[in-house]
Structure 1
């Protein structure tokens, strides 16, 4: 016969993490800062030096 007794529910193994958790990681922030600074330097070069 099948055991249909109600035991304790299994504990969740991992919490769902959203986009803000991913953006708070240091390697990603460094990468985005480098890309942003390159874009800013290109924009300043185009506006003021050409």
Structure 2
């Protein structure tokens, strides 16, 4: 039988990063917080001032 292994071990494969990793990034969280505050202000404006 032919020897197919090489002298080196294969390089470790990097795990794919999913949605939770993307959501944990500070710039994205700041952006989502600003959008959330704007939506909250618009909803409060509609409820109490119109």
Corresponding residue number in structure 2 for 1:34: 34
Number of matched pairs: 47
| TM-score normalised by structure 2 residue count | 0.80
> Structure 1, residues 2-33: CA drift from partner, whole Å, max 9, x if none?
xx531222322x32111000000000000000
* RMSD after superposition: 1.6
| TM-score normalised by structure 1 residue count | 0.80
Corresponding residue number in structure 1 for 2:11: 10
Q: Which runs of 5+ in 2 are unaligned?
A: none
| Structure 1 runs (4+) greater than 4 angstroms displaced | none
Q: Which runs of 5+ in 1 are unaligned?
A: none
